[in-house]
Chain A
Amino acid sequence: MRVKLTLALSDRPGVLLKALEQIALNGGNIVSIIHRRDSITSGYVPVSINVEFPDSASLERAKKGIEASGIPVIEAETLEKAICTILLIGAVKIEDLLRRVHELGSRVAEVSMTGGLTSPCIKAVIEAPSEKLSTLLASLESFAEEQGALLITEW
């Protein structure tokens, strides 16, 4: 899995090396490193590291190791996205669906509505971080129930 780790490094020699050691120890393969020196705040430099980890457990171990070295992990964003199509049959407002998907850290890439007022059906293509997909679908299932609609997902 590919992940963008954003770390807050103190602007001293050798600190980055400590973080890289933890990534390497946990099987991470570094793809790129970007120092955002233009964004130095209170002596900390935000550094974005794109890493390929074998699995989510190794990512979690690396994060713990980095933080144990005294380096704050600001964000760990999964760069792999899962794309899935859903149908919602029933009177659901598109904006409510968009809000629910957004709240779960995902986005609606395409959306359309057919059937007018008599037989409404929303089709949406959703892009979600791979590891969040099952949580998202479970949440959309509850959303459909709240709205009295029928959710159909890919099998």
Chain B
Amino acid sequence: MLRCIIVGYGFLGKRLAKLIASGAVRGIKLVGIASSKGYIYKEDGFLPGDLPDDLRSSSMLRLAPASELIDKRIADLLVELTPTNIRDGEPGLSHIRLALEQGMDVVTANKGPIALAYKELMGLAEEKGAMLLHEATVGGGIPLISLKNRCLVADELLSIKGILNGTTNYILSRMHFEGMSLDLALREAQMLGIAERDPTLDLEGVDTALKLVILANSLMNMSKRLSDVKIKGITGITSEAIAAAKESGMTIKLIGIADEDGLRVAPKLVRLNDPICVHGTLNAVSFNFRILGRLTIIGEGAGESTVSALINDIHEVVKTRMRSNRI
């Protein structure tokens, strides 16, 4: 049985820990959990009743950094779920490096390390014979990376265009349907927990740009950085502009585009009958393949659905290691 540790014990970490401890993901047991408060571990595996709501309330808590847990070499797989840091990717980047250097497989939902150091981390994984899977970094539970890398490996991906940020899509949808101002729609999104208290990264298009960098590097074999993306956010969008678009059978959506002309994020006019024109917190991505042509995929891009991407990546690791008799 594969042994796994979870680093980052927030919304995703808690849900995933419960699923693994209850045996919902076959072939794996949870032997350690770390957060910014410290870590707990149990080499024979946690059961659902062992899981604390807050690590600080556990009698097993060790007040030491997560790197100490990774360094104990009690696990085969690290699930890295610390919050995204777009400046230097830390602490997630160091956690992933440390795990890969030991030959541990890694599954992550953390955008920072994958956007900032994709080539380095994939190179390290290859060198150490480890797997690094990151479906959960983009589009929540929508299988974007595995769709291309497993189902459409032989076809060439020419472009990616999509709505990759649920918060801005919610705001623009409310402006479109209710005629709200951006400020009012933002306040509503914050009250509902859809937007963060500091929504800057979402509104200014940086979150979309990070996801675009990850998709371009992992699906189009590019070597892009965040600084390579031309970014325009939605802060200048007025209700008058949305109304003018609506009169022409269109609306405004924040779109990330990766193609032969490079990477860019900008508010765009989208026809209401275009398959990419989804509303609320939904994400939608249109791939253009050389042979297949256009393929659009829609789904929830954050929250609970991200757990689906995580367990599928974990399942992939378990399946691969079972085949190679490493467990």
Chain A interface residues toward B at CB < 8 A:
85-87, 89-90, 112, 114-115, 119-121, 123, 150, 152-155
Beta-carbon contacts under 8 Å, B239-275 to A: 239-241, 243-245, 247-248, 250, 252-253, 255, 257, 266-271
A80 to chain B, nearest CB (A): 21
B60 in contact (CB, < 8 A): no
Q: Are A121 and B253 in contact (CB under 8 A)?
A: no
A115 to B240, CA, bound (A): 6
- For chain B, the count of residues having a C-beta within 8 Å of the partner chain is 25
A119 to B243, CA, bound (A): 12
Given known A-B contacts A150-B232, A155-B161, A155-B270, A87 and B255 have beta carbons under 8 A apart: no
Q: Are A115 and B238 in contact (CB under 8 A)?
A: yes
A127 to chain B, nearest CB (A): 15
The one of A90, A112, A150, A155 in contact with B244, judged by C-beta atoms closer than 8 angstroms, is A112
Q: Are B268 and A121 in contact (CB under 8 A)?
A: no
The one of B238, B250, B266 in contact with A89, judged by C-beta atoms closer than 8 angstroms, is B238
Q: Are B253 and A155 in contact (CB under 8 A)?
A: yes
Q: Are B253 and A114 in contact (CB under 8 A)?
A: no
The one of A121, A153, A154 in contact with B241, judged by C-beta atoms closer than 8 angstroms, is A121
B63 in contact (CB, < 8 A): no
Q: Are A153 and B268 in contact (CB under 8 A)?
A: yes
Chain B residue contacts of A115, Cβ below 8 A: 238, 240-241
Question: Contacts A114-B240, A153-B269, A154-B271 given; 4 further ones with Cβ under 8 A?
Answer: A86-B269, A112-B244, A152-B268, A154-B269
Q: Which residue of A lies closest to B270 (CB)?
A: A155
Count of A-B contacts with CB under 8 A? Answer: 60
Q: Are B238 and A152 in contact (CB under 8 A)?
A: no
Chain A residue contacts of B240, Cβ below 8 A: 89, 114-115, 119-121
A155 to chain B, nearest CB (A): 4
Q: Are B255 and A155 in contact (CB under 8 A)?
A: yes
Q: Are B236 and A89 in contact (CB under 8 A)?
A: yes
Chain B residue contacts of A121, Cβ below 8 A: 238, 240-241, 244
A54 to B222, CA, bound (A): 32
Chain B residue contacts of A150, Cβ below 8 A: 232, 236-237, 267
Q: Are B248 and A152 in contact (CB under 8 A)?
A: no
- Would you give 18 A-B contacts (Cβ < 8 Å), ordered by A? A85-B248, A85-B269, A87-B252, A89-B237, A89-B240, A114-B240, A119-B239, A119-B240, A121-B238, A121-B240, A150-B236, A152-B245, A152-B252, A152-B266, A154-B271, A155-B255, A155-B269, A155-B276
A114 to B253, CA, bound (A): 20
